[in-house]
């Protein structure tokens, strides 16, 4: 398949064509030419859309699909279709399936289910057997079958010795441990951020201390063991400070933030809408601003949609009993582009690849096509009609967002809505 992208603006902060307007000719999945004007060969599909921009393909470090076990939430095939139409050429999928993805066979199954999709899937293996937090899973075997990291999704490593052993063990094959930042004994039965909003609504609170104490403990262990640690979806001002201090010590630690924690604060909980029940919870406006500053300062390495489809039975219940989680792939670019300059938005949507040992796609002659297609200008209100996912539990309904995503081109795959 040959494709000519006509008069597109290239946003590639690390590339030589950044901010250029040019034609891009893709032949058999390879970028053959980038030039101000290219004459197409016979049979070429020409894509010419006013305001069309391209960037290196986006990567999301934390998405959840339901398969196997919870296919009613999202199958792998439909999840990858959702990711592609949302501009992502690669996603790392969490092991919160049934059964938990904790073996080399599970990694092979996930990779096989993603074969032929436009968006590439990279499995994260469970850190512990069955995700129960007792014994380490088959980490080395999973790494040989395609696991890019190891962590129990939204489940902290309660046993500090287990984390110590894990960090020591994965150094034998350059693996990385993901440790969710939550001290459960502090969080207790909390369901939202422990602050004024929780008190006013009569909802049990999750103190910021529950996140910060776990991070402090994990960083002390990392300092002792060495190795690579990734802390996903931090949500408090103090968490940013703790990770910044650890970096200054030379510790090999990275972190991410969920886009909904950047965009929303706990004031939206006033209506008891369970779409806003997330883990970690939405925090204060002070925390939200600190997270944004952490991004601009480079302390927070990457953003994630933390896409987590939930069926209606998990959300249309009393707040205390509702599932945590929000879908986020479809709204990710629009929300981030509303908050940050375009170059920064694109950098954050691609920067996670290096940490997970992936090459950053290049927009240059001879490179495999790996492109996200979008227009950063249109402003709109996010509605259910924008949802592609099987589930509809979005925290972004009725929010004003900026930027339209058309889809992606990866190798010989074109998955886009060009209307």
Q: Quick one: which H or E segment has residue 244?
A: helix 237-248
Q: What is the pLDDT of residues 30-60, one digit of tens each?
A: 999 999 999 988 999 999 999 999 999 999 9
Q: Of 174, 306, 320, 417, which one is the catalytic site residue?
A: 306
Quick one: pLDDT at residue 106? Answer: 98
Q: What is the pLDDT of residues 103-126, one digit of tens each?
A: 999 999 999 999 999 999 999 999
Task: Tell me how crowded residue 193 is: count the other CB atoms within 10 A of its CB.
Answer: 25
User: For residues 223 and 213, is the Cβ–Cβ distance under 8 A?
Assistant: no
Q: At what angle do helices 329-339 and 76-85 cross, to 10 degrees?
A: 30
CA dist., res. 281 & res. 151, Å (int):
20
All structural domains of the chain, each given as residue ranges with its CATH number in brackets, are: 2-54+364-416 (2.30.40.10), 58-355 (3.20.20.140)
CA dist., res. 353 & res. 100, Å (int):
24
Give the pTM: 0.97
Cα torsion 381, 310, 149, 415: sign: negative
Does 320 participate in catalysis according to the annotation? no
CA dist., res. 92 & res. 124, Å (int):
6
User: For residues 117 and 77, is the Cβ–Cβ distance under 8 A?
Assistant: yes
Residue where the block lists tokens 């910060």: 212
Q: Which of 356, 337, 338 is nearest to 347 (CA)?
A: 337
- Mean pLDDT for the chain? 97
Residue 26 confidence (pLDDT) above 90: yes
| Maximum distance among all Cα pairs of the chain, rounded to whole angstroms | 67
Task: Tell me how crowded residue 70 is: count the other CB atoms within 10 A of its CB.
Answer: 18
């Amino acid at each position: 398949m040959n494709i000519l992208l006509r008069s597109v603006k290239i946003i590639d902060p690390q590339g030589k064509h950044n901010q250029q307007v040019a034609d891009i000719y893709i032949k058999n999945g390879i970028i053959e030419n980038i030039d101000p004007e290219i004459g197409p060969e016979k049979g070429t599909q020409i894509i010419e859309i006013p305001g069309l921009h391209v960037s290196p393909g986006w990567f999301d470090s934390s998405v959840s699909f339901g398969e196997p076990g919870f296919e009613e939430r999202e199958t792998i095939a439909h999840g990858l279709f959702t990711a592609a139409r949302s501009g992502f050429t690669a996603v790392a999928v969490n092991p919160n399936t049934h059964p938990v993805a904790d073996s080399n066979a599970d990694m092979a199954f996930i990779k096989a289910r993603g074969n032929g999709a436009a968006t590439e899937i990279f499995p994260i293996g469970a850190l512990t057997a069955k995700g129960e937090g007792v014994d380490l899973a088959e980490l080395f075997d999973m790494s040989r079958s395609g696991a890019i990291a190891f962590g129990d999704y939204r489940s902290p490593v309660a046993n500090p010795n287990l984390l110590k052993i894990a960090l020591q063990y994965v150094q034998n094959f350059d693996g990385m441990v993901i440790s969710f930042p939550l001290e459960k004994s502090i969080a207790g039965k909390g369901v939202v951020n422990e602050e004024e909003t929780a008190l006013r609504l009569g909802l049990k609170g999750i103190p910021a201390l529950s996140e910060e104490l776990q991070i402090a403990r994990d960083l002390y262990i990392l300092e002792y063991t060495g190795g690579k640690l990734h802390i996903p979806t931090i949500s408090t001002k103090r968490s940013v400070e703790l990770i910044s201090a650890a970096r200054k010590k030379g510790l090999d630690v990275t972190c991410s933030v969920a886009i909904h924690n950047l965009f929303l604060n706990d004031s939206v909980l006033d209506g008891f809408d369970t779409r806003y029940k997330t883990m970690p919870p939405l925090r204060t406006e002070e925390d939200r601003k600190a997270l944004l500053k952490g991004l601009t300062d480079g302390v927070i390495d990457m953003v994630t949609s933390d896409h987590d489809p939930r069926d209606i039975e998990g959300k249309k219940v009393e707040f205390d009993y509702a599932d945590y989680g929000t879908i986020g792939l479809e709204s990710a670019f629009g929300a981030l582009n509303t908050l940050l300059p375009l170059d920064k938005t694109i950098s954050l949507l691609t920067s996670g690849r290096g940490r997970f040992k992936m090459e950053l796609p290049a927009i240059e002659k001879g490179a495999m096509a790996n492109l996200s297609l979008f227009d950063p200008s249109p402003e709109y209100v996010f509605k259910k009609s924008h949802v592609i996912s099987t589930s509809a539990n979005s925290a972004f309904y009725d929010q004003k967002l900026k930027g339209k995503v058309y889809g992606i081109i990866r190798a010989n795959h074109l998955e886009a809505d060009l209307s």
